[in-house]
């Protein structure tokens, strides 16, 4: 007679998730980020020029308050540029071009508030924090080398980046 150990964990058949989601490659994610940066720079440079940002360079450069203000303006411009594709498909323009998209951990398109607030405000806004912002931004992108290829902003927003197919 076989005796059962009352302290033994129950036997369960665990199956791997066999969904059609394929994690986006690091190269594609980098390419999308670079494309998004180029788009933002093309839009921001004329705004910065018209706003007198570059005129302060001859006076020793802008102070910390002016830099923070321009950082906030940059975030607003980024959100304005990326709002429509993020809302419609969970993609930025760069992600759309390279064929990847952002999904939640169940494979669904995340809520726009999650994308803009927890993902992008965190990722872009943290760099504005004096002293530690640059370090946290570095840690953020280095998270991509984990096995799940999720950056720190993906972990914060509970998202992942997958092939768009």
Query: What pLDDT is stored for residue 24 in this prediction?
Result: 95
pLDDT of residue 16: 46
Cβ–Cβ < 8 Å for 128, 71? yes
Q: CA of 28: how far to CAs of 38, 49, 103, 147, 164, in Å?
A: 15, 32, 16, 16, 11
Q: Alpha-carbon distance 1 to 4, whole Å? A: 10
User: pLDDT at position 115, please?
Assistant: 87
**Contact indicator for 98, 31 with CB cutoff of 8 Å:** yes
pLDDT values of the chain reduced to their tens digit, one per residue, 165 residues: 567 777 776 666 544 444 679 999 999 999 999 999 999 999 999 999 998 888 877 777 777 788 888 888 988 998 899 999 999 999 999 999 999 999 999 999 999 988 888 888 888 788 878 889 889 989 999 999 999 999 999 999 999 999 997
pTM of the predicted model as reported, rounded to 2 decimal places:
0.78
The pLDDT of residue 53:
82
Q: What residues does each domain of the chain span?
A: 26-51+64-163
How high is the pLDDT of residue 49? 92
Other beta carbons less than 10 A from residue 143's beta carbon:
15
Q: What is the spatial distance between Cα 162 and Cα 107, in angstroms, rounded to a whole number?
A: 9
Strand partners, 100: 163
Q: What is the pLDDT of residue 10?
A: 67
With vertex at residue 125, the alpha carbon angle to CA 123 and CA 126, rounded to the nearest 5 degrees, is 70
């Amino acid at each position: 007679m076989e005796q059962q150990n009352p302290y033994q964990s129950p036997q369960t058949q665990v199956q791997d998730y066999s969904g059609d989601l394929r994690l986006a490659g690091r190269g594609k994610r980098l390419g999308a980020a670079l494309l998004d940066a180029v788009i933002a720079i093309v839009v921001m440079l004329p705004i910065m020029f018209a706003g007198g940002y570059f005129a302060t360079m001859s006076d020793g450069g802008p102070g910390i308050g002016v830099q923070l203000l321009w950082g906030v303006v940059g975030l607003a411009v980024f959100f304005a540029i990326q709002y429509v594709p993020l809302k419609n498909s969970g993609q930025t323009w760069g992600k759309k071009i390279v064929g990847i998209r952002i999904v939640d951990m169940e494979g669904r398109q995340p809520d726009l508030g999650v994308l803009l607030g927890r993902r992008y405000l965190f990722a872009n806004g943290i760099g504005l924090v004096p002293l530690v912002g640059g370090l946290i931004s570095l840690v953020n992108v280095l998270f991509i080398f984990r096995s799940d290829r999720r950056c720190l902003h993906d972990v914060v927003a509970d998202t992942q980046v997958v092939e768009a197919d």
